[in-house]
Structure 1
C-alpha cells in the first residue's frame, strides 16, 4: 500500500521516518523560538469517518501548512484579488473552476506562497480497506494497533495482489460487496443495520474463495477464511472497549504523518485544525501514543518531535487553516481525477511536490503521476 508506512506507495516498504530524503519538499525552516512548539494549520477534504467502502468520495486528503498568519492572510487576499468573486467565503471549488485555473496554477506553483511550506497526505479509500482487513486478520498485534500507519511486511504482497486482481477475478459486484463487508467488520461504530458483521463477512469470504479457485486471490480468501476466531475477538474488544483506536479512520495516520514531517529534527509540533468531530480528546491521546510507540520493523528512528496539542477552530477564523482547506480540496480533486483516468497533467505535476511519500495509495499507474519522484525510484528497487 502506499502508506503512511512506506516512503513510497506500499505499506510494506521502508517507513518514511527512516528515509527523510525520500520526500522532495522538506518542512520549512523554523523561525520560532527553539523552546516553543512549531504550530501548523491543518484541514481535510473527503473525510467520511470510517465509511470508506460506500463513501461519496474515493480519496481522502489531509493538508498541513507551515505559513505564519501574516503570510496566510496575504495569500487569501491575493486569491480574492485574482478571483474577484462576491462570495464571502472562498473554498477549493472556486479555484477548481476553469475560469480560475490561472489562480490555482499560481497558488501551487513556484511563484505562489505554499511551495516548501505545505504538505498533503492522500488516502485511496478502497486500498486502505483492503490493507486494514489483511492486517487485522493476518498481521501481528503491533500492526493491527497502528491505525493503518504500518503494514506487516509479510502482508504487503497479499494486500497488493488482492487489491490489484480482486475486482477482475471476482467481478465488480462481488468485489464491492467484499469491500463493504470488510468495512463493516472493522467499524468501531456500527450502522443500525449491521448488528453482527462477522457472519456476513465470512459468508462473502467463503463465496469468494470458491469463486477464486486456484488464482492467488482465491488462496488469499482461503487464508482469511481461517481467521474467524481473530475476527470474533476483535468484535468482542469493540463491544467491551469504547476507546478502541479506530482502525479505519484515515484522519489518524494523516495527522501522525504531518507531525512526523514537521517535527523532523526533534521539533515539538502543535496543530490548529478545522473543527472536526473525529478529533476527540481520546483520539488525540491515541495519536500521541502512536507517535511515542516504537515503529514495527524500523531499524532506526528519525528524530521526531511530540504532538503537544491540537486546537480546533472555525476555518474562517484562521487564514492558515483556510490555506490548508484550499490545498486539501484541490489535492483531493486532482488525485481522484488521476485515479479515475481523468488526468490533468499540468495540475498533477504542480501537486506532486506537496504529496507526502507516505500517502496510502495502491494504484500504481496514478501514483507514478502523483507521488514524489524518489518514491517511484524506491518502488522500482523493491
Structure 2
C-alpha cells in the first residue's frame, strides 16, 4: 500500500508580465520564479541584502535594487543562497503567441499546451515567431475584452495572411477556415473553461513551474503574488488538467493562494529572482 503523497509549498512571482501587449519589443520575455524557502529564511535573505549590500529599507524589495549598477557581489551572493531552493522558467512572448496560433486553431486547445506535456510545435513556432504581422493579427483577433462577438475585420486580416505562412513552412495551418476560427473565438467569448486564455503566458509558465517542482512524485501548493490572470477558474482547470495528464502519478498542483507580496518575504525573494532572470535573458538575446 502506498504511503502519503509528499507535498511542497512554493512561493512564486513573475517579471515581465505585460497583459495583452505581448509583442512589445521592450518586454520580450516573462520570467516566472519559485522558491521553497520558509518565511524566516526569506526574511533573512532580504535582511542580508539590506545590511550587507546597502539595499534601501522599504516595505517591499524590488528587482531593480538588486540589478542596479555596482551590485555583482549582491547578485552572486543572492543566487548562491537560492541554489537548490529555486527554479526559474522563462517564456519568450513571441514564441508563446506563435504557439497559441497553432494550439487554438489546429486542434483541441488544452491547458497543457506550452508545457512539457503539450504538443511539439517547435518547427512551426520557429517560422511563425518571425512573422510579426501574423502574430499581431492573431493578438488583435483574440483580444476580445468588451466584445460580444468576434471582430470580422480582425478575422479577415488574420485569414488573409494564412496562405503565405503555409507556403513558408507551416502546413499545420492549411486547414484553417473562417468557420473554425469563429468557433474558437465564440468559445473564448463564452468563457469556455476548457480553452486556455490565448494571451496569458503566465498560465503555462505556472504550469511548467509546478511540473518541475512536482517531478512526477509529489504535489505542489503555490503561494503567488496577486495576478488577475490567475483566476480561480483557470487555476482549478489547470490543476485538473495536469492531474489527468500525469495520472496515476500524484496530482502536480493542489492549489494556488494569492497574497500581497508586501506581506510575504518568500514572494519578494521570488520577485527578485524573476527580475534577475528576465534581465539576464533580455541581455543575452
Same fold (TM over 0.5): yes
Matched residue, 1:326 = 272
State the Cα deviation string for residues 332-353 of structure 1 (Å, max 9, x = none): 11001111xxxxxxxxxxxxxx
In the alignment, what sits opposite 1:255? 206
From 39, 54, 66, the equivalent of 1:69 is 39
Deviations 1:205-256 (CA, angstroms, capped at 9, x unpaired) = 35xx2xx7xxxx6344676364123212111222233544213311111211
**1:178 aligns to 2:108 (yes or no):** no
Normalised to the residue count of structure 2, the TM-score between the two structures is 0.85
Equivalent position of 2:159 in the other structure = 202
Match of residue 152 from structure 1? 119
Q: Are residues 332 and 190 of structure 1, via their aligned partners in 2, closer, same or farther at CA, if it must alter by over 3 Å? A: farther
Q: 2:187 aligns with which of 219, 237, 242?
A: 237
TM-score normalised by length of structure 1: 0.65
Is 1:285 aligned to residue 236 of structure 2? yes
**C-alpha spacing 1:135/1:279, structure 2 compared with 1 (3 Å):** closer
Matches within 5 A, 1:8-47: 37-47=7-17
Residues 105, 184 of structure 2: 8 Å contact kept = no
> Helix, strand or coil: the match of 1:121?
strand
Q: Which runs of 5+ in 1 are unaligned?
A: 1-33, 167-174, 296-300, 340-382
How far apart, CA to CA, are the structure 1 residues paired with 2:175 and 2:274? 40
- C-alpha distance in structure 1 between counterparts of 2:124 and 2:277, whole Å: 29
Is the 1:147–1:248 Cα contact (8 Å) retained in structure 2?
no
Could you say which residue in structure 1 is the equivalent of 2:105? Answer: 137
Question: Is 1:317 matched with 2:263?
Answer: yes
Q: Which structure 2 segments of 5+ residues have no match?
A: none
CA contact (8 A) 1:260 1:304 kept: no
The CA deviation string for residues 238-291 of structure 1, in whole angstroms up to 9 with x for no partner, is 223354421331111121122222223532221111111122111111211221
SS at match of 1:320: helix
In 1: Cα distance, 2:7 partner to 2:175 partner: 48
Instruction: Please show how residues 91-102 of structure 1 align to structure 2 within 5 Å.
Output: 91-102=62-73
1:293-346 C-alpha deviation (Å, 9 max, x unpaired): 326xxxxx794444222211111211111110000011011001111xxxxxxx
2:50–2:56 Cα contact (<8 Å) kept: no
**Equivalent-residue separation in structure 1 for 2:110 and 2:242 (angstroms):** 15
Q: Which has the higher strand share?
A: 2
1:78 and 1:309 mapped to 2: Cα distance?
31
Change (3 A) 1:117 1:188: farther
The whole-number CA distance in structure 1 between the counterparts of 2:172 and 2:253 is 38
| Distance apart, 1:38 and its partner CA | 1.7
2:197 equivalent among 236, 246, 249: 246
Please, what is the CA RMSD of the aligned residues? 2.7
Could you tell me how far 1:198 is from its partner in structure 2?
1.3
CA-to-aligned-CA distance 1:28-64 (integer Å, 9 cap, x gap):
xxxxxx6673211000011123431247510001001
Deviating beyond 6 angstroms after TM superposition, the runs of 4 or more aligned structure 1 residues are none
CA distance in 2, matches of 1:251, 1:118: 18
Distance 2:262 2:182 in 1: 44
| 3-state SS in 1 of match to 2:218 | coil
